[in-house]
Structure 1
């Protein structure tokens, strides 16, 4: 890492619950609260040098880093969604957006120094965990983006996700936002019928107690204490198996990366939105 200049401002860490598939970009009414929340919080990216985005839709054993100059768009939709999507879902673009191969190289260098075996991938495209939040937060596409995978293994990746965040924190001091793109709620099976408009879809139980536990940890100032509390999320957070089912908690891992990247900063809940009775949140540090 290069030495800091007097003009370098520590960039924020940001967590975004990125919604369901492409629906926020397609204008679905049930995703409109997410769209509005992102519009209201666009200021978080102002002044950033670039974005390091950790997406729930790219899982690898060791961190992989997108190193292409102009990554293509991936239309990576769940099969249950894909079969009923309109053609517009396959035509979404993020025009003007660029990668940053030099930043990708620096990230690999830092992660390797911290005990990872990071891999540069100049072919990797941007999945919807990248382009959904970026289209909503930064439609002008004027910030370079490097995409980083989350550790595979769902719950078993908890400690590695926290470690990844702690390693990436240094880039905030270089002016790069660490953006975790996932979901504070991700029981897809419980909510898919409502999303797809199936008549008589059952109500989804509230995840408010789980959200309250997230906020409590986010607001801890001490970095070590934050990570210690977060490491026990599965055992300690209320109704964790209903909110983030065992074996498919990958959408929660970006939040853990953000907790690791927060350092001693105190988190603030930027806002929340509701999806058929469930709560989705965004945080900044």
Structure 2
């Protein structure tokens, strides 16, 4: 039987551990993930590209039993409950898939490095707990290019290099956020403000993402996404300069999409900001 081509999937993974801890402001994320759990059905493995692992060259997690990293901001960690450091996810790594990924990246001149010591950060375990609580699909994490010069071109190249693995049944899961002006929402997340919506709205930025995602040609997608910083509305307010790492997984997904036409699987609201999911 022919292997079904796996999707390229982008999700906005929410704030730290709060979705797993049951915070009301993250419930829309939990609900949306439950609605789309079917996307992972039949996948041979999940290749997770997250905003929380930035390197100069691609690193690939190759451990069979990675630990979980509780990678919270130092100035917030002390305000979190003990439960935030006790979250578990019994997922497995896949050393053979990791080697396959490295080989694929090396073929594209990316000189990948296998890493059998690094654990999974919350950009992996938050979405996987919500999307696949039964933990029955192997996972390999891949780092993103570091944020110098927005990392747009190398992120696009990384996605293109990973794209062929979709034909072998491996999902490319970009775990980031379509909105990530952390300073504009952190007080609301921590319950220290009235939860007022940040200004400006990120709806125009979302519309630009939607336009790129739905283009039917890989070259058209690339031409648009390479100019996102200059041309997407309010880009500096939505993805601040120097800290746009949460947008990078979307760019990787665009690269992995090829000529596929994307569709928005849904969006959720975080204190008036729009957080979107896409699939190709």
Indicate the residue corresponding to 1:41 in structure 2. Answer: 36
2:124 aligned with 1:130: yes
1:153 aligns with 2:117: no
SS at match of 1:56: strand
Q: Secondary structure at the match of 2:93?
A: coil
> For 1:236, which of 231, 234, 238 is the aligned residue?
231
Cα RMSD for the two superposed structures:
1.0
- For 2:206, which of 208, 211, 229 is the aligned residue? 211
Tell me how far apart the structure 2 counterparts of residues 199 and 99 of structure 1 sit (CA, whole Å): 40
State the distance in 1 between where 2:261 and 2:77 align. 39
After TM superposition, give the deviation of residue 203 of structure 1 in Å.
3.4
Between Structure 1 and Structure 2, how many residues are aligned?
279
Normalized against structure 1, the TM-score is what? 0.96
Deviations 1:201-245 (A, max 9, x none): 653121000000000000001011111110100001000000000
Q: 1:7 aligns with which of 2, 5, 15?
A: 2
CA–CA separation in structure 1 for the residues paired with 2:56 and 2:163: 20
Q: Does 1:70 align with 2:65?
A: yes
Structural mapping, 1:167-186, within 5 Å = 167-186=161-180
Structure 2 spans left out of the alignment, 5+ residues: none
Return the alpha-carbon distance in structure 2 between the equivalents of residues 24 and 8 of structure 1.
Answer: 33
Partner of 1:118: 112
Match of 2:89 in 1: 94
Task: Give CA-to-partner distance per residue, 1:31-69, whole Å, 9 cap, x none.
Answer: 000000000000110110000000100000000000000
Q: Matches of 1:192 and 1:83 in 2, distance apart? A: 15
Q: Does structure 2 retain, via aligned residues, the 8 Å contact 1:155–1:249?
A: no
Displacement of 1:81: 2.5
- Structure 2: distance between partners of 1:14 and 1:60: 22
Q: Report if aligned partners of 2:55, 2:145 keep a CA contact under 8 Å in 1.
A: yes
Q: Report the CA distance between 1:200 and its aligned residue.
A: 4.7
Query: How far did 1:127 drift?
Result: 0.2
